[in-house]
């Protein structure tokens, strides 16, 4: 049932400090990086025997803050992957990076490029200094612009993350961030709403009424501004939160949305392989101990039932390019159009989706209600 080539994700769980809205698994003690890297390489080697014969065409080094690593450390990780997995010649190799790791140190951009990275994704979040301070980020907007200008000398394929719907965020401020990104010629932009994850400092501030979450209506308005502005600027809206100029969709992220296989290395990394899901321990001590005993550091292995796979396939498809009708038939042996004809008609009548020869996809209006539509109809 394999649809696209699989991808490899590597989680580097280190950051210099924890941002006040973040709930990713990460560690701020950078002294244990070397030990972690030894175990990471071991995990890659001992896992590789299970994937003999599969050819991968994307590698994504995420985190955390992988740009904390030196060029040599990145190069060593990639070497271990290339020596143990079959990787396509023209693979997409992405690293997530924070602008502050390159300020006054542009040489590091060459090192990252020379290590074999061909796509860089910056955690910019905003081009407004007050907003960056609110998010407890360590760079300012001027520095982000400078680093991106410099990065353009090394990478054609650049992405940035922007966060919107901050408390009291003005429309003008959001427009300024979007226009700055567009004017910089950044070919891929991810737009995320600020999520108040439980137990984070901003969640606690909201609970104590120090800050307040925007009303849903205002949040939707900001989302529409985001997507209208980028569509007008020539970007394709290819997933609820992702926009790309032609030729710059993220091959790796498309794997998650198009139900392709992927394997994850590093603490808390998730994997999906032929209908089976599992995750690595979300704890670096447990992770290290298992690898010292030559054990794969994973848990919660679970084979999805056919109904669960169907729901996931539909949900992921609706949030991105749409439900690929041919792939649906290949995987589930039935026709999506026949099985869900009444739901399709209702969604179309409301102007929330459209059926074509290859895909059933949501409209821009439908994207706004993607979660509701998935829950209500599928």
Provide, rounded to whole angstroms, the least separation between the CB of residue 355 and ligand SF4.
38
Contact between 24 and ligand SF4 (CB under 6 A)?
Answer: yes
Residue 63's φ and ψ, nearest 5 degrees, are -165, -155
3-state helix/strand/coil string of 38-66: HHHHHHHHHHHHHHCCCEEEEEEEEECCH
Q: Which is nearer to ligand SF4, 64 or 267 (CB)?
A: 64
8, 10, 12, 15: which one binds ligand SF4 (CB under 6 A):
15
Structure tokens at 297: 């550091």
Provide, rounded to whole angstroms, the least separation between the CB of residue 75 and ligand SF4.
22
Contact between 162 and ligand SF4 (CB under 6 A)?
Answer: no
Residues 115 to 154 in contact with ligand SF4, rule: CB under 6 A = 123
Question: Of the ranges 22-30, 204-212, 250-258, 341-349, which one interacts with ligand SF4 (CB under 6 A)?
Answer: 22-30
Q: Which is nearer to ligand SF4, 7 or 123 (CB)?
A: 123
Question: Of the ranges 58-66, 114-122, 198-206, 267-275, which one interacts with ligand SF4 (CB under 6 A)?
Answer: 58-66
Q: Which residue has the tokens 């539509």?
A: 373
CA distance 66 to 155: 17
3, 4, 18, 213: which one binds ligand SF4 (CB under 6 A):
18
204: nearest Cα among 332, 21, 3: 21
HSE of 97, CA atoms in CB hemisphere, 13 A: 31
319: nearest Cα among 231, 239, 258: 239
Query: Rounded to the nearest 10 degrees, what angle do helices 341-349 and 370-377 cross at?
Result: 150
Q: Which is nearer to ligand SF4, 24 or 378 (CB)?
A: 24
Residue 327's φ and ψ, nearest 5 degrees, are -65, -35
Size of the site for ligand SF4 (CB under 6 A): 11
Question: Of the ranges 21-29, 209-217, 284-292, 318-326, which one interacts with ligand SF4 (CB under 6 A)?
Answer: 21-29
Question: Of the ranges 12-20, 147-155, 267-275, 318-326, which one interacts with ligand SF4 (CB under 6 A)?
Answer: 12-20
HSE of 216, CA atoms in CB hemisphere, 13 A: 2
Residues 59 to 78 in contact with ligand SF4, rule: CB under 6 A = 63-65
Provide, rounded to whole angstroms, the least separation between the CB of residue 64 and ligand SF4.
5
Q: Which is nearer to ligand SF4, 23 or 354 (CB)?
A: 23
Q: Which is nearer to ligand SF4, 18 or 42 (CB)?
A: 18
DSSP 257-322: HTT--EEEESTT-EEEETTEEEEE-S-HHHHHHHHHTT---EEEEEEPPHHHHHHHHHHHHHHTT-
- CB neighbour list of residue 285: distance below 8 Å, 6 or more residues apart: none
Provide, rounded to whole angstroms, the least separation between the CB of residue 13 and ligand SF4.
9
39, 91, 94, 98: which one binds ligand SF4 (CB under 6 A):
98
Cβ contact 122:4 at 8 Å = no
**Residues of the shown chain interacting with ligand SF4 in the complex, contacts defined by CB under 6 A:** 15, 18-19, 22, 24, 26, 63-65, 98, 123
């Amino acid at each position: 049932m394999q649809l696209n080539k699989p991808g490899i994700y590597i989680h580097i769980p280190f950051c210099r400090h924890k941002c006040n809205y973040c709930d990713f698994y990460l560690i701020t003690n950078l002294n244990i990086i070397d030990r972690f890297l030894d175990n990471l390489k071991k995990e890659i080697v001992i896992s590789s025997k299970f994937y003999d014969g599969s050819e991968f065409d994307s590698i994504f080094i995420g985190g955390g803050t992988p740009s904390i690593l030196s060029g040599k450390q990145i190069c060593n990780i990639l070497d271990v992957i290339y020596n143990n997995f079959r990787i396509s010649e023209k693979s997409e190799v992405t690293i997530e990076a924070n602008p502050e790791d390159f300020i006054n140190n542009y040489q590091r951009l060459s090192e990252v490029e020379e290590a074999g990275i061909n796509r860089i994704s910056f955690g910019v979040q905003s081009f407004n200094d007050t907003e960056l301070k609110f998010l407890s980020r360590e760079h300012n907007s001027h520095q982000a612009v400078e680093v991106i200008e410099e990065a353009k000398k090394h990478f054609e394929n650049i992405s940035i993350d922007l966060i919107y719907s901050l408390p009291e965020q003005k429309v003008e401020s959001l427009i300024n961030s979007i226009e700055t990104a567009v004017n910089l010629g950044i070919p891929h932009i991810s737009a995320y709403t600020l999520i108040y994850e439980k137990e984070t400092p901003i969640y606690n501030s909201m609970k104590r009424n120090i800050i307040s979450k925007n009303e849903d209506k205002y949040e939707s308005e900001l989302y529409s501004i985001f997507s209208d502005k980028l569509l007008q600027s020539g970007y394709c809206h290819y997933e609820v939160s992702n926009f790309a100029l032609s030729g710059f969709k993220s091959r790796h992220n498309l794997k998650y949305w198009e139900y392709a296989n992927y394997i994850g290395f590093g603490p808390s990394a998730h994997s999906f392989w032929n209908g089976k899901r599992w995750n690595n321990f979300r704890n670096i001590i447990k992770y290290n101990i298992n690898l010292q005993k030559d054990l794969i550091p994973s848990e919660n292995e679970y084979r999805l039932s056919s109904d669960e796979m169907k729901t996931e396939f539909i949900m992921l498809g609706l949030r991105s390019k749409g439900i690929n009708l041919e792939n649906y038939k290949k995987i589930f042996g039935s026709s999506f159009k026949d099985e869900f004809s009444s739901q399709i008609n209702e969604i179309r009548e409301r102007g929330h989706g459209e059926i074509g020869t290859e895909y059933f996809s949501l409209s821009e209006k439908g994207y706004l209600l993607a979660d509701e539509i998935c829950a209500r109809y599928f």
